[in-house]
Amino acid sequence: MTKQEFDCKIAAIFQSYSSNKSCVVHSNGAYFPIYWFGDLLGYLNSSCKVVTVGLNPSEEEYVLDSNEKYIHFANDPGALLASGNYIGYAHEMNEYFRYNPYWWFNNYEFFINQIGASYYDYPGNPNYNCTFDTPNRAIHIDMMAPVPGKLPWSRMESKDRNALIKQYSNCFNILLKLLAPDIIVVSTGKDWVNKKFSIKNRIPTYNLTSDKGYIKGYLFDNEYSVSAVGTKKLIMVSPSRMPIQGISKKVIMDFLKIF
């Protein structure tokens, strides 16, 4: 994909957002929306497109240093977004894992390394732990809202959660359609996954359970509906205090041998 094609893809994302009243493209108070984390161009050029999915960003992404600068971004993405500089905003998102990423992502990094993907693109990065010479570039998106709430999602009052869901109701679906991932890895509560992927009462294609958790695999069609003959994959890993914690590498590898 050329830079021109990539810039057109960025424009398409924000054109989709702007035409949908439930997708806010400007800063929301102190919190600007983070629509994705990671190198989008590297992702789009990967042979296997891997997306990890959470609920919503943490407040930790918005921490400022003593100079009132964001510690996880080189420049202010909110200011870029509010001014309509979508290319500048995209650059900040694309550089996220090259700058100073939040350590929380290492929980997912451990898993996606086993399927030949990484958020990182060079072995010199201290977080890089992939044994593949040319891993596919993974990115992260959030399915409930691209901004944090007053409290972590699980502790938020229902009215506050519902307000965020309503405000950003279609953002995830828009981005999922434009990204068209081959593999989705999610490690959140089952109820939230079901809200977006309608897997309730669906029997997973593959299912491995240990005394410390589970890994379930679902096949999806191109519209991300459960399908026995689908080619897209959803891998759901039981969450603990953090995504994927408690699941051993052996259990992961045993699962990946069959899915």
| Residues 114-172 pLDDT 10s | 888 999 876 555 555 555 566 799 999 999 988 888 788 888 888 888 888 888 878 88
First to last CA, the chain: 29
Residue 79 is predicted with a pLDDT of 86
Strand ranges (DSSP E) for the chain?
50-54, 117-118, 136-137, 139-142, 183-186, 206-210, 213-220, 232-237
Residue 97 is predicted with a pLDDT of 93
76 touches 131 (CB < 8 A)? no
Residue 163 DSSP SS3:
helix
Residue 10 is predicted with a pLDDT of 73
| Residues 5-50 pLDDT 10s | 777 777 777 776 666 655 665 555 568 889 999 998 899 889 999 9
Residue 119 is predicted with a pLDDT of 92
Q: Which amino acid is at 168?
A: Y
Residue 72 is predicted with a pLDDT of 93
Pairing of strands 206-210, 213-220: antiparallel
238 touches 256 (CB < 8 A)? no
| Residues 61-76 pLDDT 10s | 988 888 888 899 999 8
Q: Which of 134-148, 174-188, 201-215 has the lowest mean pLDDT?
A: 201-215
140 touches 108 (CB < 8 A)? yes
Q: What CA–CA distance (Å, rounded) separates 143 from 51?
A: 11
| Closest by CA position to 108, among listed 176, 41, 50, 45 | 50
Each domain of the chain, given as residue ranges in start order, spans: 3-186
Q: Indicate if the pLDDT at residue 92 is higher than 90.
A: yes
Residue 189 is predicted with a pLDDT of 84
Dihedral (C-alpha) 143, 145, 146, 148: value to the nearest 10 degrees?
-120
| Closest by CA position to 49, among listed 120, 116, 108, 145 | 116
Q: Indicate if the pLDDT at residue 178 is higher than 90.
A: no
Q: What CA–CA distance (Å, rounded) separates 123 from 107?
A: 18
Predicted model pTM: 0.88
Residue 132 is predicted with a pLDDT of 56
| Residues 238-249 pLDDT 10s | 876 566 666 777
